[in-house]
Structure 1
Amino acid sequence: MLLLEEIYKSYKAQNSAHFNLRIHRGLGWFKKALELDQDLEFKFISLWISFHAIYADDRDTILAPAKLYQFLETLCQKDLDQKINHMIWEKYSQPIRSLLDNSYLDQSFWDYRNQKISLENCQEDQKNQNQQIQNALQERNSVEVLRLLFHRFYTLHHQLMHGGITYHSSLNHKSFEESCRILAALMPVFICILIENAKALDLKKPFYPVAQVS
């Protein structure tokens, strides 16, 4: 049993059923991800589901920038041990920077390739994003770095789930390897912060709660 599971069970009686369901689902998918080191695409999927299990409460607002930023900001504020900062600025700074610099994980790149936006708009968007990245790194703004990073994850997720990536392709291996390393490190910290601050962070009921049909 994971130490995280023991922590969850020790707090379980104090928390709401909705909150416990979120953590239970998040832990289940995180545990599955730990078994998939040789299958990075499915490891990434499992980690991504684990994140959404603890985060999403409305399928129509999952991509809302303000909602994601607020969630990440709250986690960082409650992280009294500064574990998230340690991961961002020390332990995983290199793969995080690599993902942020990866233009293939920038959605505007693909929007231009698919003729949804002009080259000028694509270049302007990439220029703005690069400036946001530089500002976040210079200011050591952990919340902003996480926000930018998770938007890279969203792009990778959409590529994968919509058949835009070849299974076990060498072209995407580094992106999946780095993404899995970072998500696998962040998820137990996120879950632990939620558990230890359940009263303040008990979100609305899950969008898909347990339901029985007679």
Structure 2
Amino acid sequence: MPDSLTFTTLKDKQRAIRAGFPETMGLRVHRAISWIGRAETCGADDDARFIFLWIAFNAAYADEQEFQSIPQGERAAFLDFFGRLCALDRDQRIYKAVWHQFSGPVRLLLENRYVFNPFWQHHNGIDGFDDWEDRFRSSARAFAQAFQSGDSARVLSFVFDRLYVLRNQLVHGGATWNSGVNRAQVRDGAAILAFLMPIFIDLMMDSPTEDWGRPFYPVIS
């Protein structure tokens, strides 16, 4: 995995090979790279960096199914996207990236109850979640099994389940910008997206003819 997989290297690669991209895939990559570039300018503002990188993720995976009358659901779409990426990831770049970061932001995020959805269900008084601590421990064991078996798609599903809770907290006004409370998950979430998103986009560019779906918001003259 290149250590220098940045906005500049992604953009240079895109410019060099974009003539061979199908129109819809080219639009996805162009948009996602633009938001990765914006995220790189955020400095220490982890809230903004996370949000811009999440927009890059949306640009990469979301298609017209997300906006139909009976959508399949965002996290189901995540799994489909991860499955396609990991099937194309012959060098296990995604797994190696997670492995490299496991002792840092990945492990810390997975150990953080504040990005575990059943924790919030319980604390908001929703029935059936009194056992959130048992679920939390069970989730940790299931992640460890997926990690040990090298199941990259399942590993990503666990990580993005946590990131999705964080995304909801920030985008739906459930957090204060630059708050002194619960900074760890924002910092770790931004770090995880920062090392995964460039790999996702690079893999997409390596397989431009794969069916990445049609963006719902194409460029219309």
TM normalised by structure 1 equals: 0.89
AA at the equivalent of 1:99:
L
Secondary structure of the corresponding residue to residue 161 of structure 2: helix
Does residue 10 in structure 1 map to residue 10 in structure 2? no
Does residue 88 in structure 1 map to residue 98 in structure 2? yes
AA at the equivalent of 2:141:
Q
Inter-partner Cα distance in structure 2 for 1:19 and 1:119:
41
AA at the equivalent of 1:138:
Q
Inter-partner Cα distance in structure 2 for 1:82 and 1:130:
22
Inter-partner Cα distance in structure 2 for 1:98 and 1:11:
38
- Shift of residue 73 of structure 1? 2.2
Instruction: Could you tell me which runs of 5 or more consecutive residues in structure 1 were left unpaired when the two chains were aligned.
Output: none
- Shift of residue 85 of structure 1? 1.9
Question: Which 4+ runs in 1 deviate beyond 6 A?
Answer: none
Inter-partner Cα distance in structure 2 for 1:185 and 1:119:
33
AA at the equivalent of 2:72:
T
Q: Is the 8 A contact 1:29 1:46 kept in 2?
A: yes
Secondary structure of the corresponding residue to residue 202 of structure 2: helix
Does residue 188 in structure 1 map to residue 194 in structure 2? no
Secondary structure of the corresponding residue to residue 214 of structure 2: coil
Does residue 35 in structure 1 map to residue 41 in structure 2? yes
Structure 1 residues 69-110: Cα deviation after superposition (integer angstroms, max 9, x where no partner) = 231122122123332122111244432111111111011111
Secondary structure of the corresponding residue to residue 209 of structure 2: helix
Aligned counterpart for 1:204 among listed residues 200, 209, 213: 213
- Shift of residue 124 of structure 1? 5.1
Does residue 156 in structure 1 map to residue 166 in structure 2? yes
Secondary structure of the corresponding residue to residue 199 of structure 1: coil
Q: Is the 8 A contact 1:92 1:182 kept in 2?
A: no
What's the RMSD between the two structures over aligned residues?
1.9
Inter-partner Cα distance in structure 2 for 1:211 and 1:82:
37
Does residue 70 in structure 1 map to residue 76 in structure 2? no
Structure 2 counterpart of 1:47: 53
- Shift of residue 208 of structure 1? 1.6
Moved more, 4-13 or 116-125: 116-125
- Shift of residue 4 of structure 1? 0.8
Structure 2 counterpart of 1:19: 25
Structure 1 counterpart of 2:3: none
How many residues align structurally? 210
Moved more, 163-172 or 47-56: 163-172
